[in-house]
Amino acid sequence: MRYISKSKYLAALQCEKLLWTHYNRKQLIAPPGPDTLWIFKQGHETGSLAQQIAPGGVEVPFARMATTVEATRKLLPARKPIYEASFSAAGVYCRVDILRPADNGRWDLLEVKSSTQVKEVNINDIAIQRYCLENADIELNRVYLVHLDRSYVRDGEIDPMRMFHAEDVTERVDAVYDSIAPNMQRFLALLDGPEPEVAIGPQCSKPYDCPLKNRCWGFLPEHDVTTFARAGAKAFEWIDRGWLRVSDVPSSELSDAQRVQAAAVKSGQPQVDQAAVQEWLDQLEYPLLLLDFEAMATAVPLLDGTSPWQAVPFQVSVHVIDSPGAEPRHLEFLATTADDPRPELVRFLTGLPLHGSVVAWHMYYERAILDRLIPVFPDAADELRSLSDRLVDLEEPFRQFAYYHPEQRGSTSIKAVLPALAGMSYAGDAIEGGQQAAREYVQAVHTPVDPGERERVLAALRKYCEKDTWAMVEILRVLEGA
């Protein structure tokens, strides 16, 4: 008999073709990349710590399905918490994070997540486990989603009882429970049938990016309608109507920003609202401080005074342009030890000029970091507040489509704008993005690592963060020449 694991059940809810491919053409599914594996690692660490909220239990080691199911059955009579309790029934195989004894011979099911809130996908995750356990004759009392409490602040050793919040989701699971049996009947039947035909749509990215996306979307031409900014589900309606290219969609169907985008694609040239660009430039006051932070955020806080998933800045790059036409000069800070990086970083920030515009890309990130530092470092509050108050967002003229280059393909990310405007790219660099930067920093500085590898990562981080602020120099020059 075939069994569907809970992860494959969730995959099927997203796309039945994805489920079929997992079982019939698994080679088409690329293995998870480093960033995804890093997220998995955060989940494993969180799950291990969460076992302490139900102490005195026994963990079922990972093994073949039959072995883990039998091991679980042998543990049930002892009525102690079971970690990774394993069951197979009604075509489902699942491992329960925590199975905790309740009153009247029943059990509580606890699913642990490294997030800080309950998501809809979590409800379906717990529902399929409940379905499996009840079909395996396990009487359940209540079901819980155990997630991190964002208000928890580390002070010394991690306190799992305070860091985790067990949220009772029994009624929410009840609301979807009746759909599971017919879903399972359909999913099990399709495994032995032909590959399902599923049109591309919002499900390709929700709740997760589908590993088959490149394959399924391969029929789309260059500058297809899914690259329209803020098109959302409407892009798939256009595809259904046979409008695949940006140039296919009638102007009457488009927003003002999308009309700018279509004009750029049709002409092959940037579209520039010179008055709007100049208005943005006129607000700048010299010296200009082009600022970028890199920050780490982990499920389990690494440092005292920090919370789950709190962004803790460990690096800052600044290019200073003292006057119009002046050559930019570079300033930087990078924490190189496992100590709290914030005191030294704040000392660096308080040494920056006390006047002039602070230019950042998507400045809300930089502002959030600065504003969170203010109460932690009251002696530097005036300087930090000044930096925050002087922030100007270089993304704004692109977000407002005052400047749009066809090679942006609907994106206003600096990773899209920089190659389009300046011919520079992050592709092929040792570090290509912020998530990778944070991951490699934590691994190099906060875990045991070969000294040579550590120095390689630190050098790559310096190059990456400097490139982020130099990118703003190049983009600013293009705007000034527009």
Whether the pLDDT of residue 178 is over 90: the answer is yes
Looking at residues 166-173, what average pLDDT do you find? 98
**Token output for 470:** 């130099």
Identify whether the C-beta of residue 271 lies closer than 8 Å to the C-beta of residue 401: yes
Residue 15 carries which DSSP code? -
Identify whether the C-beta of residue 266 lies closer than 8 Å to the C-beta of residue 277: no
Whether the pLDDT of residue 191 is over 90: the answer is yes
- Distance CA(69)–CA(93), nearest Å, equals 9
List, as one string, the DSSP characters of 215-236: HHTTT--TTBGGGSTT-TTHHH
Residue given tokens 């006057």 in the structure block? 323
How far out from the chain centre does Cα 196 lie? Answer: 29
Residue 346 burial (CB count, 10 A)? 21
pLDDT 10s digits, 37-95: 999 999 999 999 999 999 999 999 999 999 999 999 999 999 999 999 999 999 999 99
Partners of residue 320 on adjacent β-strands = 289, 329
Predicted structure pTM score: 0.93
Angle at which helix 120-135 crosses helix 180-190, to 10 degrees, equals 80
pLDDT 10s digits, 100-131: 999 999 999 999 999 999 999 999 999 999 99
pLDDT reported for residue 107: 99
pLDDT 10s digits, 374-401: 999 999 999 999 999 999 999 999 999 9
- Distance CA(375)–CA(298), nearest Å, equals 21
For the chain, what percent of residues have pLDDT higher than 90? 99
pLDDT 10s digits, 228-249: 999 999 999 999 999 999 999 9
Of the candidates 339, 352, 337, the one whose C-alpha atom is nearest the C-alpha of residue 384 is 352
CA pseudo-torsion sign 49, 51, 55, 60: negative
Residue 1 burial (CB count, 10 A)? 5
With bands split at pLDDT 50, 70 and 90, how would you rate the model's confidence at 346?
very high
Looking at residues 150-175, what average pLDDT do you find? 98
pLDDT reported for residue 344: 99
pLDDT 10s digits, 256-299: 999 999 999 999 999 999 999 999 999 999 999 999 999 999 99
Whether the pLDDT of residue 482 is over 90: the answer is no
Query: What is the overall mean pLDDT for the chain?
Result: 97
Domains and CATH numbers, the chain: 4-190 (3.90.320), 202-268 (no CATH), 270-482 (3.30.420.10)
Of the candidates 118, 120, 140, the one whose C-alpha atom is nearest the C-alpha of residue 129 is 140
Query: b/e string for 134-170 if b means 16 or more Cβ within 10 A?
Result: ebbebebebbbbbbbeeebebeeeeebeebbbbeebe
pLDDT 10s digits, 26-44: 999 989 999 999 999 999 9
- Distance CA(245)–CA(264), nearest Å, equals 13
Residue 295 carries which DSSP code? E
Looking at residues 133-161, what average pLDDT do you find? 98
Q: Which amino acid is at 414?
A: I
Residues in the chain: 482
Give the containing element (helix H, strand E) for 358. strand 358-360
Identify whether the C-beta of residue 170 lies closer than 8 Å to the C-beta of residue 153: no
